[in-house]
Structure 1
């Protein structure tokens, strides 16, 4: 099978990049030829004889994502339109190229974020807020175009699937495939508080994410900390450059209880150095860090607005209805901090849950999807009367029908 994957980067250290890295690796292991239309590709993949990299150079001159992404979309489309006949499956990620795709993975739904009551930007909020507002509006329209024209859309969570249906994508063309996690690495790590400069006698919460955006919602975590005992501390992992949160912590007189570590490379060890994971994101499609936390055996406190919260049951975490209620967040954290036995039991159950999200299981589902789409396209091309496009057969499925059976009959 000949596969083309279109994405900005294929590498280990970011969400979408890691997903595509795992899919590409699994496809190569099964004997497929893989073409990566991307700006960056991990060196280890480039050494494989059946992998071809088509570099899309955007250039440093473009200073905003709005322009950079359009440059990538145009350049990738020009190349793919010349070479489309070389592939059995073309897999894109959201709106990334001006081409029709066989498989499109929805890692984020801008129309869902825009419609959220927690969306903070507007035209009257200053230059940056206006830019963010226009960026979201444009991406919502472009994604709608891309998702509606794809044969199958893979949603990374049930939350995303619901947003895709709201955006007009037919339910029978949506397949939920949750992201994966490296369970072995996160389960097998060892913690070391001294290495990270953390106190031995505190109950430590970990918050990990982009500290430049209000969407991840560290502000509410800091506000909740005000209502918690002195022995409860927060460890913050994320690049500090451009973040306002160190100043917020100082204003709230929490300097001694909030430990800003900046970028942390050894996240598995850090996760084994803390007691729980807190992540009340105002909008998330599917959080890789949440899956990493349960793989590390951490109980989690999150919110229903965070994609991935759908897999967290009361036996391994606490899911809040409102991400912006600091008192309820504090109450949930206190329930863990005050009961060490419960905290450990929830962590053990989290570890068991994480085994359902191995990267290999996720990649296998994508490969199964590729084969199904390629087979249907081949039937259509041979004139067997099964439709003019792969999507014809897929679209004729009854609403709610699934392309791929899951191991236990339920989405994983």
Structure 2
């Protein structure tokens, strides 16, 4: 099979790039030829493989993320018009091209986010908020065109599937393949908190995410922390231009909140905390939650997160309202005060995660590609 993957990047990391990475690995292991059409990074362990060709349209010197996306899409469209017929299967991610493709993997539906009451422009009535609205609006238009131009839409969660149906795409065109988890990288283990500058003799929860905006809902976690005085919180993610370090001070919980910045060793940090909290306001999947589960942590998340579909009452707590701070307080208190429950739930969480290995998900994609060839 001659497979073409059109995407921003192919590497271990965020959800979209990781899916591309795992599909590529599975494809070459079966002897398929893969052409990667990218604008950013390709994992080093994939480079140089004789079955992989890389077409790199580097646009990183172009100012603003939006302009880089526009230029990359134009370059991809021209390239596919010229070379698309060479491939058995063309897979794209989101609004990356308006040309005909066989599969489009949908990680985010901008039309849904645009209408969310929590969209940045509804919170930040300034130039940044206006830019975010314009960016989302443009992407919502582009992605609809891209989705119409493909044979099969792969939704990475049931949440995404329902959102696609709501914006007019037929259910029979949509398949669901959940994101996987690296069961070797994310696994229970014992480490010393001191190596991360974290206190040892305290109850410690973990939050991981981009909290420069309000979507991940760190503000509710900080507010809830006020009423859980025997709990500390480790926060992983860039705090640059984020209002939340200041909010922690205003709430007088800053002595219990440990901002660690962006970290590449999240898997190791997950091995030193007691549980994971991620009450996102809008989350098409939420791979970090399944990674926490694989690490043997009980999790707190919200029903709007796609990953909530795999969180059972035995493995975590799913909040039905992301704005109900008292419900979040109750969940934090339960897991803080009952260490024996945390252990039991953590074991259940790991068992669930083991059903969602990346190998199984990548093979599901390969099976789909093969079916489209026949």
TM range (shorter): over 0.9
Match of 1:96 in 2: 96
Q: How far apart in 2 are the matches of 1:292 and 1:61?
A: 34
Task: Please tell me whether residue 156 in structure 1 is matched to residue 145 in structure 2.
Answer: no
Could you tell me which residue of structure 2 aligns to residue 45 of structure 1? 46
The answer for the alignment partner of 2:76 in structure 1 is: 76
How big is each residue's C-alpha offset from its partner over 1:303-339, in whole Å with a ceiling of 9 and x where there is no partner?
Answer: 1112211111111010011112221101111111111
RMSD: 1.3
Who is 2:196 aligned against? 196
Query: Is 2:189 the partner of 1:182?
Result: no
Please give the alpha-carbon distance, in whole angstroms, between the structure 1 residues aligned to 2:117 and 2:360.
Answer: 34
Q: Which residue of 2 aligns with 1:251?
A: 250
Q: Deviations 1:68-112 (Å, cap 9, x if unpaired)?
A: 111111101111111111100000001001211100000101112
Report the 3-state secondary structure (helix = DSSP H, G, I; strand = E; otherwise coil) of the residue aligned with 2:111.
helix
- Counterpart position of 2:22: 22
Q: Which residue of 2 aligns with 1:240?
A: 239
Q: Would the aligned equivalents of 1:304 and 1:321 in 2 still touch at CA under 8 Å?
A: yes
Q: Please, which moves more after superposition, 205-214 or 239-248?
A: 239-248
- Would the aligned equivalents of 1:182 and 1:359 in 2 still touch at CA under 8 Å? yes
1:14 offset after TM fit, Å? 2.1
Tell me if the contact between 1:190 and 1:269 (Cα under 8 Å) persists in the aligned partners: no
**2:277 alignment counterpart:** 278
Per the alignment, residue 227 of structure 2 pairs with: 227
| Offset at residue 152 of structure 1 (A) | 0.3
Matches within 5 A, 1:124-143: 125-143=125-143
Residue 55 of structure 2: aligned partner: 54
Q: Give me the whole-angstrom Cα distance separating, in 2, the residues matched to 1:41 and 1:295.
A: 25
Check whether the contact 1:182–1:292 (CA below 8 A) recurs between aligned residues.
yes
The aligned residue for residue 380 of structure 1 is none
Contact map agreement 2:120 2:213 (CA 8 A) in 1: no
Cross-structure match for 1:117: 117
Shift of 1:188: 5.0
Matched with 1:398 is: none
Distance 1:319 1:55 in 2: 41
Cα separation, 1, equivalents of 2:45 and 2:21 = 10
Give CA deviations for 1:108-148 in whole Å, capped at 9, x if unaligned.
01112122233342498111111111111111121111112
Deviation string for 1:41-89 (max 9, x for gaps)? 1121112101000001214132x22211111111011111111111000
Hey, what's the Cα distance between the residues in 2 that align with 1:124 and 1:116?
Answer: 14
SS of equivalent residue, structure 1 residue 45: coil
**Aligned pair 1:346/2:345, yes or no?**
yes
Secondary structure of 2:187's partner?
helix
Task: From the CA coordinates, give the structure whose radius of gyration is larger.
Answer: 1
Q: Are 2:98 and 2:145, in contact at CA under 8 Å, matched by a contact in 1?
A: no
Q: Deviating runs (4+, > 6 A) in structure 1?
A: none
Contact map agreement 1:106 1:160 (CA 8 A) in 2: yes
Are the aligned partners of 1:3 and 1:32 in contact in 2 as well (CA < 8 Å)? yes
Q: Secondary structure at the match of 1:5?
A: strand
The 1:297–1:59 alpha-carbon spacing in structure 2 relative to 1, beyond 3 Å, is closer
* Distance in 2, Cα, partners of 1:189 & 1:19: 25
Determine whether 1:334 maps to 2:340: no
Task: Please say if residues 204 and 274 of structure 1, whose CA atoms lie closer than 8 Å, have aligned partners that are also in contact.
Answer: yes
How many pairs does the alignment contain?
Answer: 373
Conserved in 2, the CA contact under 8 Å of 1:177 and 1:362? yes
| In structure 2, C-alpha distance between the alignment counterparts of 1:131 and 1:209, rounded to whole Å | 21
Unaligned runs of 5+ in 1: 376-412
